[in-house]
Amino acid sequence: MSEIAIVGGGPSGAMCGEQLARAGHKVRIFDEHLAWEKPCGGGLTHKAVECFPFLLENPHAKKLVSAIDLIGSDDQRVTLEMSHPIVIYSRTVLNGMLLDRAAEAGCKVHRSHVMGVNTASSKPRYCVEGEWREAAFLVLAAGARNHLLPETRPLKRDELEMTQGYFVPQTADAITVKFLPHFEGYLWSFPRSDHLSVGICGRMASHTSGELKAHLHSFVEKQKIPTEGAQFYSHVLPSPQEHTLSQRSVLGKNWALIGDAAAWVDPLTGEGLFYAMRSGELLGRALAEGCPEKYPARVKAAFTAELEFAARIVRRFYRGSFLGTAVTTRMVQLLRRSSVFRQLMGDLFSGTQDYTSLKRRLWGHLGFTVSEFISSVLNLDRPAAAAVSRGGSGD
- Give the residue with the Cβ less far from ligand FAD, 260 or 306: 260
- Give the residue with the Cβ less far from ligand FAD, 78 or 144: 144
CA angle (270, 276, 282) in 5-degree steps: 140
Q: What's the gap between Cα 98 and its chain centre?
A: 17
Number of Cβ atoms within 10 Å of the Cβ of 318? 22
- Give the residue with the Cβ less far from ligand FAD, 240 or 367: 240
**What would you measure as the largest C-alpha separation in the chain, in angstroms?**
72
- Give the residue with the Cβ less far from ligand FAD, 281 or 341: 281
> Cβ of residue 5: shortest distance to ligand FAD, in angstroms?
11
> Cβ of residue 384: shortest distance to ligand FAD, in angstroms?
38
Nearest to 297 by CA among 263, 351, 246, 262: 246
**CA 372 – CA 79 distance, rounded (Å):** 22
- Give the residue with the Cβ less far from ligand FAD, 277 or 326: 277
> Cβ of residue 225: shortest distance to ligand FAD, in angstroms?
16
Interface residues toward ligand FAD, by CB under 6 A: 7-13, 30-33, 38-43, 113-114, 141-143, 146, 148, 163, 165, 190, 199, 235, 237, 259-261, 265, 270-274, 276
- Give the residue with the Cβ less far from ligand FAD, 117 or 370: 117
Strand 125-128 versus strand 114-118 pairing type: antiparallel
> Cβ of residue 144: shortest distance to ligand FAD, in angstroms?
6
> Cβ of residue 206: shortest distance to ligand FAD, in angstroms?
17
> Cβ of residue 211: shortest distance to ligand FAD, in angstroms?
16
- Give the residue with the Cβ less far from ligand FAD, 159 or 326: 159
Sheet holding 131-134, edge to edge: 114-118, 125-128, 131-134
> Cβ of residue 20: shortest distance to ligand FAD, in angstroms?
15
- Give the residue with the Cβ less far from ligand FAD, 26 or 33: 33
> Cβ of residue 101: shortest distance to ligand FAD, in angstroms?
14
**CA 40 – CA 166 distance, rounded (Å):** 10
Q: Are 143 and 259 within 8 A, CB to CB? A: yes
Q: Are 346 and 68 within 8 A, CB to CB? A: yes
Ordered DSSP codes for 30-60: EESSSS---SS--EE-HHHHHH-GGGTSSSS
Nearest to 21 by CA among 5, 39, 42: 5
Q: What's the gap between Cα 303 and its chain centre?
A: 12
175-178 own/partner pairs: CB under 8 Å, 24+ apart: 175/43, 175/65, 175/67, 175/68, 175/69, 175/86, 175/88, 176/68, 176/69, 176/71, 176/223, 177/68, 177/69, 177/70, 177/71, 178/70, 178/71, 178/219
> Cβ of residue 224: shortest distance to ligand FAD, in angstroms?
21
**CA 115 – CA 128 distance, rounded (Å):** 6
- Give the residue with the Cβ less far from ligand FAD, 152 or 321: 152
